[in-house]
């Protein structure tokens, strides 16, 4: 199995098991709602991004409709996320 900086696990009532896939830099999802594939309407877009900084740290961002909702930094060599910020909301853990 290949290694990716972003890993998405998808659960849906139509799947017997979870589905998953990896992303290198940017994963974008358009969510459509309605009664069928031919009668569906744009609801929202969400995006997860990964950027490797020159010092080796990694920055991850999650946005909905272009608004960054959450950001995380993984320091070079670290096993855990050191800093997580909710950009829109009250949680700021550093």
Q: What would the two tokens of residue 66 be?
A: 């272009």
Give the pLDDT of residue 92. Answer: 52
CA atoms within 13 A on the CB side of 72: 12
Q: How far is Cα 57 from Cα 10, in angstroms, rounded to an integer?
A: 27
Task: Provide the residue-wise pLDDT of the chain in tens; the chain has 94 residues.
Answer: 578 999 999 999 999 999 999 999 999 999 999 999 899 999 999 999 999 999 999 999 999 999 888 899 999 999 998 777 676 655 455 5
Tokens 């849906």 correspond to: 12
The overall pTM is greater than 0.85? no
Give the pLDDT of residue 87. Answer: 64
Collapse the DSSP code of 15 into the 3-class scheme (helix H, G, I; strand E, B; otherwise coil) and give the result.
Answer: coil
């Amino acid at each position: 199995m290949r290694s990716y900086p972003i890993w998405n696990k998808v659960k849906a009532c139509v799947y017997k098991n979870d589905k998953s896939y990896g992303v290198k830099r940017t994963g974008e999802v358009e969510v459509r709602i309605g009664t069928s594939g031919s009668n569906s309407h744009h609801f929202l877009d969400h995006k997860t991004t990964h950027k490797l900084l020159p010092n080796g740290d990694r920055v991850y961002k999650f946005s909905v409709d272009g608004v960054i909702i959450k950001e995380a930094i993984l320091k070079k060599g670290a096993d855990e996320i050191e800093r997580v910020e909710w950009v829109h909301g009250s949680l700021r853990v550093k």
